[in-house]
């Protein structure tokens, strides 16, 4: 029998609808800590406004939605649309940033893609996360823009990584 993970160990599991509340709170906190330097207050406000509670159960049901846990606290999540080879979202809680959680979530998403026979991972990186994805082996494809339902546009960078 393998030993139980020690304090501070990170483990990943597939999310359930019951995780939606914790994921929603984490998502907001992660944006407010990680993305504010690269987007205007108007953009951040518009972004948070579309992240209503209803978004999360739908996303958990429709994607490969994985969460990271540290001592049973949700400390990160990643959503992947395997059929489209797209990693839709990777967000880490402020208290867990810089400890390898993002790396573990992206590696896990890539594993899911490869297991499904996919040969590439694609994503639109927020400007603050571009260096992180380069570090993970992703290359820039070009500038892109996510237009929110309010009409506010968010600049991002399209990136890809061949999976072997
Ligand atoms: C970007 C993010 C997902 C990275 O997750 P993380 O757990 O903090 O990153 P990790 O600890 O796994 O970092 C792995 C490596 O990536 C690099 N890295 C991480 N964040 C970086 C950043 N913002 N800029 C440059 N390099 C970065 C580091 O070199 C690190 O290696 P090191 O530990 O040897 O220094 C996380 O900071 C986050 O949630 N940010 C806000 C939300 C966001 O922008 N998500 C992406 C949307 S597309």
CB 90 near ligand 1, within 6 Å: yes
Assign domain 10-118 to its CATH architecture: 3-Layer(aba) Sandwich (3.40)
CA of 115 to the centre of ligand 1 (A): 24
Q: What is the pLDDT of residues 27-73, one digit of tens each?
A: 999 999 999 999 999 999 999 999 999 999 999 999 999 999 999 99
- Spatial distance between the Cα atoms of 146 and 94, rounded to a whole number of angstroms: 24
Give the pLDDT of residue 3: 58
CB 131 near ligand 1, within 6 Å: yes
Q: Enumerate the domain spans of the chain.
A: 10-118
Give the pLDDT of residue 59: 96
CB 133 near ligand 1, within 6 Å: no
- Specify the long-range contacts of residues 49-58, CB closer than 8 Å, at least 24 apart: 49/148, 49/150, 50/148, 50/149, 50/150, 51/24, 51/27, 53/20, 53/21, 53/24, 55/24, 56/20, 56/21, 56/23, 56/24, 56/27, 57/17, 57/20
**Ligand 1 atom 4 nearest Cα:** 102
Give the pLDDT of residue 8: 75
Q: What is the pLDDT of residues 100-147, one digit of tens each?
A: 999 999 999 999 999 999 999 999 999 999 999 999 999 999 999 999
């Amino acid at each position: 029998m393998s030993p139980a993970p020690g304090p501070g160990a990170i483990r990943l599991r597939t999310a359930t609808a019951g995780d939606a509340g914790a994921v929603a709170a984490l998502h907001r906190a992660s944006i407010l800590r990680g993305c504010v330097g690269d987007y205007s207050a108007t953009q951040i406000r518009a972004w948070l406004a579309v992240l209503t509670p209803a978004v999360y159960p739908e996303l958990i049901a429709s994607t490969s939605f994985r969460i990271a846990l540290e001592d049973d606290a949700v400390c990160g999540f990643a959503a992947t649309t395997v059929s489209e080879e797209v990693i839709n979202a990777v967000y880490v809680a402020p208290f867990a940033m810089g400890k390898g959680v993002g790396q573990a979530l992206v590696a896990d998403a890539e594993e899911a893609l490869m297991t499904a026979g996919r040969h590439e991972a694609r994503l639109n990186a927020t400007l603050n996360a571009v260096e992180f994805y380069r570090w993970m082996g992703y290359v820039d494809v070009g500038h892109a823009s996510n237009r929110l339902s309010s009409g506010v546009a968010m600049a991002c960078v399209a990136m890809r990584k061949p999976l072997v």
